[in-house]
Structure 1
Amino acid sequence: MDSQLNKLLPNLGSVSTSLLWAIIVVLLMGPAQTFAFQEETNDYNQYSGEVVDASTNKPLVFATLTVEGTNISTISNTEGNFLLKIPKDITSENVVVSFLGYKTKTVPLSELKEEKNKISLEISVTQLSEININAPKDAMALVRETMAHRDENYFDNSTLMTAFYRETIKKRRKNVSLSEAVVNIYKSPYDSNRDDAVELYKSRKSTDYSKLDTVALKLQGGPYNTLYVDIMKYPEYIFSKEAMANYRFWFDRSTRINDKLIYVVKFNQHENILEPLYQGELYIDVENKILTGAIFSLNITDRKKAAELFVRRKPARVDVWPTEVSYRVDYREKNGKWYYGYSSVTMEFKVDWEDKWFNSVYSMNAEMAITDWENNSTGELPRNRERIKKSIIMSDEATGFSDPDFWGEYNIIEPEKSIESAIKKIQRQLRRAERNSD
């Protein structure tokens, strides 16, 4: 399977390689299966709430919440909501809340309630005089220098990370497929050429094929879609030394993260390059030459070529092409070293049947957040049969949704309201099916 997939990921001549494994599988509809679970003891304290802008009260999306003195963390969702689970033996620590362009806030655990916490962050104002001090003049040179400092600025030891992964497929605004998993990531050092390995610990899913017409869209690669967005670990997928010359870079503005001055570097492919490459923003700590985050998207310069990058298989009478492919990656800092903390991939596709008047529009989103980690001093990897394959389809591997306490002590990304509503509907259907079977 892997050798077949590699054929679908062309190097685009001398231009660039598409981000690996972000591949759509279009298959004929199949039956859905669901299973119920029982869960474990409650040995943690749970806190929920929202992170908002102090002035406007608007939600802050993907704010990071970290328990001080530990490696436990989570992020707020696209509605600013968060859910944080902390072992009961941790009682006197603080929760550090940070967001790009805002002042970092420290909240004592003793001040948090079980729910309806509201954490307000204030904008961090950057003085113009501060921008001019030792300001770099060449944006591309800064990006090259940042990539060159990777080995000294990012984790240089093997790490075992716990992560929460969520994958959703929607037909227009309706959720038709939900998959969630807790995974173990065996992260190799950033100065190593060895790929990371992923082990599936716990998962659940549900697919409502009745809303999918006569096709089912499936995302191949699962957690690897998000893991390979770590462009400091895998620069070859976007900023290899050869590919760098295909882009122009320029400074846009400055901001702050964790009270450090961050420059925003924008990039786009040169106009004379017709292959689909990328455009976006890089957030760089200029003083230390550190990439703290990036947001970018695929330039769909040619619909057919873009489709070749992502469509694995489809019925003959169906035309499928991407209309949007966007990525995000955020890094976190611990004791002077940075590491991968969160990433997401969002894709929108049009499905056009020969014998239908209207197109169907599907959106797919995959996101993964590191919620805990520890040093993997031995550097050992899971055995091959315990690793998930890079060709995994999560909606096939995972089993069904069950009670709200399914995840136990594991931190997850709080579901958006539409997803939460879909999960509750699934749970009601499961309970109804159980009663009918009795």
Structure 2
Amino acid sequence: MKANIHRGFFSKLLSCSMFLMSFIIMAQDGFAEYKGVVVDAESKKPLEAVNLNIKNTNIATVTNADGQFILKVTEATKERIVIFSILGYQIKEVELSSLIGQDTRIALQPSLTELSQVNVTNFKNAEALVRKVFENKSKNNLDKPVLMTAFYRETIKKRNRDVSLTEAVVNLYKQPYTNSARDVMALHKARKSTDYRILDTLAFKLQGGPFSTLYLDIMKYPEYIFSNETIGDYKYSFEAPTTVNNKLVYVVRFKKKDDGMPLGYMGKLYIDAKSLALTSATYALNIEDKRSASEFFVRKKPRDVITYPTEASYKVNYQEKDGKWYYSYGSVNLTFKVNKKRKLFNSVYSIASEMAVTDWETAYSTDVVSIPKDRIRPNIIISDAISGFSDPDFWGAYNLIEPDKSIESAINKIRRKLSRED
């Protein structure tokens, strides 16, 4: 039974430094666009997945792998405050209007917490705390249906070469965390390009889709990792606490018990100390048993092909609004080796997908969101369509995750190809 539960999940998931930030702004029709980059002040390395949120609104975005971001707001929103936050650091609030035309530097101070400051006496062990998190779901997580706008990106690489790029804006009909109704998605806008000559689909085919990141919402879908039947399959331990948005956060490490099962998760849970709500989770699959890992991920392949994963890591973030927590970001990173008989060198494929909720509003007064006619299936593969990559204003006022340098290079290649064809 437990093996089937874990298999169901895999089938759906294909230093105490300051941070500096600089901005440029570009006005467009009806909205303003802010661009910036977040780096470590000492190492100068970019900071990925910094949360940016317009205060007292649901408008948000995150930084990319290069620490860069784009934040779009309407003209009426320009006098608002933007909040910058990341795990382990104090939040920073800055007026949007103060960023116009300035090389603004914003320092996010680290927030150090001594373990002695944290009172965990209410929990006999870390597992008791984790169980309490799921018991408190109806109190801590959204109890009304909401309509979300989210940006999704999926890239597939063969070694270091980008061979497939998919981007989409989706309408996410998020069901209440208090019931078992499944979330629904509708594709609003999308573009895709795939170089099948490099991908070599005769040997291997990867597919993902927006649902691969949505199902990382373990508070909505606990059955894929921490169900009532499987929550006891892990060892839990406390680590040094941290902060998020200036709030104290428990850190719980978990690892699959040695119960004879070849596969299992290991990672960390970040739990708000006051509400006991899950704020974030980072984890990975133990894939030392290549044969078992291959059986979980690969459904069908030619007989002369041997393929197995070498990395499977996941991340999910939650945001709080008016005392309720909701899914805000999810990312999946998978890497596979593909060996073909009579072929001297193997191929390495990687798939990276991420989805960020950029806006949301309460749907209806009813308990469940109505299902749209144009909803997409959980196993959707977004069809190939290169139109849109040649248009720099394709997304308009929609917030998105700024492409990192490697993806931007792939987009530029597509644009040049379109230009030659014209």
1:415 aligns with 2:406: no
Note the residue ranges of structure 2 that are not aligned, 5 or more in a row. 15-27
SS in 1 for 2:76: coil
Paired position in structure 2 for 1:387: 375
Q: Which deviations, in whole Å up to 9, do the C-alpha atoms of 1:364-402 show, x marking residues without a partner?
A: 011000000000015443334x11111211254785522
Q: Is the 8 A contact 2:150 2:171 kept in 1?
A: yes
SS in 2 for 1:414: coil
Q: Which deviations, in whole Å up to 9, do the C-alpha atoms of 1:274-294 show, x marking residues without a partner?
A: 231211100011221111000
Q: Is the 8 A contact 1:47 1:85 kept in 2?
A: yes
Q: Among residues 170, 175, 196, which one is paired with 1:188 in the alignment? A: 175
Question: Between the two proteins, what is the percent identity of the paired residues?
Answer: 49
Q: Among residues 9, 15, 37, which one is paired with 1:19 in the alignment? A: 9
Q: Is the 8 A contact 1:48 1:116 kept in 2?
A: no
Please report the TM-score for the alignment, with normalisation by the length of structure 2. Answer: 0.91
Matches within 5 A, 1:345-360: 345-360=332-347
**How many residue pairs end up in the alignment?**
407
Change (3 A) 1:392 1:115: farther
Q: Is the 8 A contact 1:103 1:121 kept in 2?
A: yes
**Superposed CA RMSD:** 2.1
Q: Distance in 1 between matches of 2:348 and 2:302?
A: 17
Q: Is the 8 A contact 2:158 2:347 kept in 1?
A: yes
Please report the TM-score for the alignment, with normalisation by the length of structure 1. Answer: 0.88
1:59 aligns with 2:50: no
Q: Distance in 1 between matches of 2:276 and 2:247?
A: 12
- Note the C-alpha offset of 1:305: 2.0
Paired position in structure 2 for 1:212: 199
Paired position in structure 1 for 2:85: 98
Change (3 A) 1:329 1:114: farther
SS in 1 for 2:128: helix
Q: Is the 8 A contact 1:17 1:238 kept in 2?
A: no
Paired position in structure 1 for 2:30: 43
Q: Distance in 2 between matches of 1:67 and 1:216?
A: 46
Q: Among residues 131, 137, 154, which one is paired with 1:144 in the alignment? A: 131
User: Could you tell me which amino acid in structure 1 is paired with residue 53 of structure 2?
Assistant: T
Q: Is the 8 A contact 1:351 1:361 kept in 2?
A: yes
Change (3 A) 1:141 1:308: same
Paired position in structure 2 for 1:83: 70
Q: Distance in 1 between matches of 2:420 and 2:71?
A: 31
User: Could you tell me which amino acid in structure 1 is paired with residue 142 of structure 2?
Assistant: F
Q: Is the 8 A contact 1:331 1:339 kept in 2?
A: yes
Q: Among residues 247, 263, 280, which one is paired with 2:234 in the alignment? A: 247
Q: Distance in 1 between matches of 2:116 and 2:132?
A: 24
Q: Is the 8 A contact 2:115 2:240 kept in 1?
A: no
Q: Distance in 1 between matches of 2:383 and 2:32?
A: 30
- Note the C-alpha offset of 1:272: 2.9
Q: Is the 8 A contact 2:280 2:315 kept in 1?
A: yes
Paired position in structure 2 for 1:30: none
Paired position in structure 1 for 2:247: 260
- Note the C-alpha offset of 1:303: 1.7
Q: Distance in 1 between matches of 2:310 and 2:241?
A: 30
- Note the C-alpha offset of 1:214: 5.4
Change (3 A) 1:202 1:216: farther
User: Could you tell me which amino acid in structure 2 is paired with residue 280 of structure 1?
Assistant: G
Matches within 5 A, 1:39-438: 42-113=29-100, 118-132=105-119, 134=121, 136-213=123-200, 215=202, 217-377=204-364, 378=366, 379-384=368-373, 386-394=374-382, 396=384, 401-434=389-422
- Note the C-alpha offset of 1:261: 0.9
Q: Distance in 2 between matches of 1:211 and 1:231?
A: 35
Q: Is the 8 A contact 1:96 1:105 kept in 2?
A: yes
Q: Distance in 1 between matches of 2:115 and 2:307?
A: 48
SS in 2 for 1:394: coil
- Note the C-alpha offset of 1:11: 4.7
Q: Distance in 1 between matches of 2:209 and 2:174?
A: 16
User: Could you tell me which amino acid in structure 1 is paired with residue 329 of structure 2?
Assistant: Y
Q: Distance in 2 between matches of 1:212 and 1:295?
A: 29
Change (3 A) 1:115 1:278: farther
- Note the C-alpha offset of 1:250: 0.6
Note the residue ranges of structure 1 that are not aligned, 5 or more in a row. 1-9, 25-40
Q: Is the 8 A contact 1:48 1:115 kept in 2?
A: no
SS in 2 for 1:266: strand
Q: Distance in 2 between matches of 1:110 and 1:17?
A: 50
